[in-house]
């Protein structure tokens, strides 16, 4: 099991008089009961994480663990790593989580990281995350235009038809005005999306305190990983087979799985004379777009 060497996390829920232990098993102690409920991770039906809490569903009972009970961010990171490590070998457990920069540890497999791996330790910056997200938006701008432009153009044409009628007499006016309206609408939608892209870091930070921690980045022959240094032991990796392609921006290499970014590797963590070498290493294993 990935991250199986991590010590367990004990969480007290005084309001409901419950104590949860997240470790090799998921255990629940309730006041008034001498025998705890102990679940194998394979017994769970689903696990979900959102901004406020973790929810673990056994199919019979559903346990909600507010994140506010875990005051130490390291404990929160450790609890998540144990849960995701357990789910990595129990894919039958439905797992849902919010927007992330770090890849989910459910993708990890056991692997001794070789000595010749590219390894770096650091943290993400707001500028590089937001700028990279804008680049991702720009790469899909043509699709955005294809989706919005014709709809807005037709809608403008129909609106003018309803308001003024006499299509044949006004066709020379209706067509350029409709095209302008379609283009203007596409641009407004793009600007709104760009603003949203530039706030990605701050939005994720509200849900994921891991962004404030030191991160260990690894790429090697077997795969890649970005994980909190506090819990990473160089014995887990994500196989290249779990990814589809990558893109390169001015600030980062970004690896995708199912059209979703799962691995962000900041270039600044490596000397400039190593950037091409690192990029070529990734390109030998993944298609670049």
Which ranges constitute the DSSP H helices of the chain?
Answer: 73-88, 126-139, 141-164, 167-197, 200-205, 275-283
Give the residue from 173, 201, 229 where a domain finishes. Answer: 201
Give the residue from 201, 234, 250 where a domain finishes. Answer: 201
Domain that includes residue 264, residue range: 118-123+213-285
- Three-state SS for 148? helix
Domain presence at residue 183: yes
Same domain, yes or no: 243 and 178: no
pTM summary value: 0.79
Same domain, yes or no: 87 and 21: yes
- pLDDT per position as a tens digit, 238-287: 999 999 999 898 889 999 988 788 999 999 999 999 999 999 999 999 99
- pLDDT per position as a tens digit, 167-203: 677 777 778 888 888 888 888 887 777 777 677 767 7
């Amino acid at each position: 099991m990935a991250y199986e060497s991590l010590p367990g996390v004990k969480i007290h829920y005084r309001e409901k008089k419950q104590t949860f232990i997240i470790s090799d098993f998921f255990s629940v102690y309730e006041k008034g009961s001498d025998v705890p409920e102990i679940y194998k991770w394979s017994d769970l039906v689903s696990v979900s994480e959102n901004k406020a809490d973790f929810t673990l569903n056994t199919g019979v009972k559903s346990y909600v663990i507010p994140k506010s009970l875990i005051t130490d961010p390291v404990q929160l990171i450790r609890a998540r790593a144990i849960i995701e490590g357990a789910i990595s070998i129990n894919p039958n457990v439905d797992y849902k989580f919010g927007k992330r920069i770090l890849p989910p540890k459910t993708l990890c497999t056991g692997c001794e990281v070789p000595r010749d791996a590219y390894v770096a330790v650091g943290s993400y910056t707001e500028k590089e995350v937001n700028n990279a997200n804008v680049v991702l938006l720009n790469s899909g701008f043509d699709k955005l235009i294809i989706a919005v432009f014709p709809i807005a153009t037709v809608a403008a044409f129909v609106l003018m038809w309803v308001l003024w009628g006499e299509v044949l007499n006004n066709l020379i006016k209706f067509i350029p005005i409709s095209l302008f309206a379609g283009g203007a609408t596409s641009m407004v939608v793009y600007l709104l999306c760009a603003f949203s892209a530039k706030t990605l870091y701050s939005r994720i930070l509200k849900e994921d305190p891991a962004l404030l921690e030191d991160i260990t980045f690894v790429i090697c022959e077997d795969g890649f990983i970005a994980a909190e240094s506090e819990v990473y032991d160089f014995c887990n990796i994500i196989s290249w087979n779990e990814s589809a392609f990558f893109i390169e921006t001015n600030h980062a290499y970004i690896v995708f799985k199912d059209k979703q970014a799962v691995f962000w590797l900041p270039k600044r963590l490596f000397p400039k004379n190593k950037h091409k070498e690192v990029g070529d290493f990734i390109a030998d294993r993944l298609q670049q777009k």
